[in-house]
Structure 1
């Protein structure tokens, strides 16, 4: 798929910029309330989770990029003249999630049914980084064979499951249809 095109990159950057403005208008904090910006923050049960450039959930956002590339390939593979819009579509979907994720509806849902008790939403730097991680995943999916991307996604899922008892699969499951035994296991029980 010929997804890389100047107009597509410009559109993707414009969507990210609009997302930044929306998050600012939503009064999301620009950086962590702690006053610092870290490249990595690895403590999930912490007020600094989802506040810095990278955290354990970055792996999920990279997988988003893999999945969005697969979706774009299915939609655009027979329409070469539209393929340049694959990346902007992926950025639009990821940006939509970042906005929705920072609404009271999703923040409260995370607090109620996931291991993210006390979750207060993402800082803007984290949301914009999440869009960047998704874009990285999209680019990797475009450049590497499918078997490597699938293997990488499985490794990421198993690695984060082992390290923090959470991953993209469990995150989606627990948001949509929480399972008490999984919640207890994630809490260390």
Structure 2
């Protein structure tokens, strides 16, 4: 048993998480994704959204969305798999196993997000006209950000997690005219007025 940010994780679960992350990295490389930014450098933070470096380095404005993924995955896996059952029996999955489920979902999204169908969708339906996909480094960082969000939600009261999520959404909305809510909206049901506003119109 090891402890990560105050959450006890069984060794076999930690190994499962590492295998999921390594598998995602291997599949992304097999899909032709660059290991790091094709510019040849690695930056801790890329703040320019409409630059070739966006989604290529360790962190950027969209990292906040992945932290919120962790909040949502914590809530979702608790609701479906982590609550005590009415007959008093233990939950279906312990918290560390639910973290592994969340990593599997996030890794699956990273693979889907970097597939041609989603890249094309971003380029046609959102303001990300020059989006070509993530580097493997950025995708792994996104998984790490989700894990950080999950672990934060596991330790904090619900109201604190909700306030932080709202704060992140408002911060990115104000700073880059985009956030997780708008990202989901524009991918699933594009609104031309929103697209024009995001483009500065």
> TM-score, normalised on structure 2?
0.91
Match runs of 1:36-185 below 5 Å: 36-74=41-79, 75-78=81-84, 79-80=90-91, 82-83=93-94, 84-185=96-197
Flag as ranges the 4+ runs of structure 1 deviating above 4 A. none
- Taking the aligned partners of 1:91 and 1:49, their CA distance within structure 2 comes to 23
How far off its partner does 1:180 sit? 0.3
Per-residue CA deviations over 1:6-59 (Å, capped at 9, x if unaligned) read: 222221111111101101111100011111000000111111110000000000
> TM-score, normalised on structure 1?
0.96
Aligned length: 188
Uncovered stretches (5+) of structure 2, i.e. residues with no partner: 1-6, 85-89
Q: Which has the higher helix share?
A: 1
> Whose radius of gyration is greater, 1 or 2?
2
State the superposition RMSD in angstroms. 1.2
Q: Are the structure 2 counterparts of residues 178 and 11 from structure 1 closer, same or farther at C-alpha, using a change threshold of 3 Å?
A: same
Q: Which has the higher strand share?
A: 2
